[in-house]
Amino acid sequence: GIQVEQSPPDLILQEGANSTLRCNFSDSVNNLQWFHQNPWGQLINLFYIPSGTKQNGRLSATTVATERYSLLYISSSQTTDSGVYFCAVEIGSGTYKYIFGTGTRLKVLA
């Protein structure tokens, strides 16, 4: 089956720093989502981005489907950005389930 790997697995930042999180997938995908799981366990939608680039405030994401990766950029990080970031890919082919990546655990220090 498809492999979805995220890097780095862990990241510690000082407040105000920028970071790039990466999601690599081993096969073609139809859709891709980025989620933030906050310290309270909620899974929050960040981007639905099968291809191209999107921006939302301090966050932006780029998916290059032909090269099988997606990037999530966090600029001017804040302590509230702490948590785990997951990418999830949907492979289609008659079933439309999402396969989640391994996650990047981010801690932003004040």
Dump strand ranges (E) for the chain.
4-7, 10-14, 19-25, 31-37, 43-48, 52-56, 59-64, 69-74, 83-90, 98-100, 104-109
Cβ of residue 8: shortest distance to another protein, in angstroms?
16
Cβ of residue 13: shortest distance to another protein, in angstroms?
20
**CB closer to another protein out of 9 and 16:** 9
Contact 56, 46 (CB under 8 A): yes
Contact set with another protein (CB under 8 A): 30-31, 33, 35, 41-43, 45, 48, 86, 88, 90, 92, 95-103
**CB closer to another protein out of 7 and 102:** 102
**CB closer to another protein out of 73 and 90:** 90
Cβ of residue 16: shortest distance to another protein, in angstroms?
28
Cβ of residue 76: shortest distance to another protein, in angstroms?
26
Question: Which residues on adjacent β-strands are paired with residue 22?
Answer: 7, 71
CA distance linking residue 88 with residue 33, whole number of Å: 5
Whether a cis peptide bond, with omega within 30° of 0, leads into 8 is yes
**CB closer to another protein out of 30 and 53:** 30
